[in-house]
Chains A and B, each alone.
Chain A
């Protein structure tokens, strides 16, 4: 079974530029998550989708971050404009169903460096 795919793996940008990350979850997984992991910390949930609907985006900085999952499959996360403090690894994860005690399957992440 193929895992969660993310691209790119690495991205370096200047502050105030924009950047987009892509995620393809495991086939059949209804729930998709985007996390931000700053060096030395645990992952922090940014947004959670159930199919193509948003379940939780309470920790997404909506003035600069946006995410979509238009067809209920793959998803993109965008930052515009980027700040220095956005430097982190952005992890995508998926799970079978919402509201159940399911394990989450993580992709390899995209390491973003903002200069």
Chain B
């Protein structure tokens, strides 16, 4: 069966450290993968998109990797801040028609 797995347990880190979140998928062949941030009571907000032929993408303190052999994407936040505390969702599209399938999300808590 098709699955997208993200750590269901919250990730707690100290301010200034690098947070690394994992997204693993099974029985999908995504053309691209997206990462979103969701704060309580709000809709998800787009962060980054990485295509199947890209190994790595960066945007300011954010970095995403995409390994189609391992069927995994890693999402890194460097120099984390308490304001980075939120739930992070990965989503993939293996149809090429913007039909996104979301993981369950990982909650990140950054302590001062």
Spell out A's residues near B (CB within 8 Å): 4, 31, 40-45, 48, 55-56, 91, 93, 95, 98-109
Contact = CB atoms under 8 A, between A and B. Distances in A.
Contacts of B81: none
B21 interface: no
Interface in B60-102: 89, 91, 96-102
Contact of A40 (B42, B45, B91, B104): B104
B104 to A, nearest CB: 5
Contact of B43 (A42, A101, A107): A107
B43 A103 contact: no
B70 to A, nearest CB: 21
Contacts of A109: 41-43
Given A42-B89, A42-B104, 11 more contacts: A4-B43, A42-B4, A56-B99, A91-B43, A98-B98, A103-B34, A103-B46, A104-B46, A107-B43, A109-B41, A109-B42
A88 to B, nearest CB: 13
A95 B93 CA distance: 14
Contacts of B4: 42
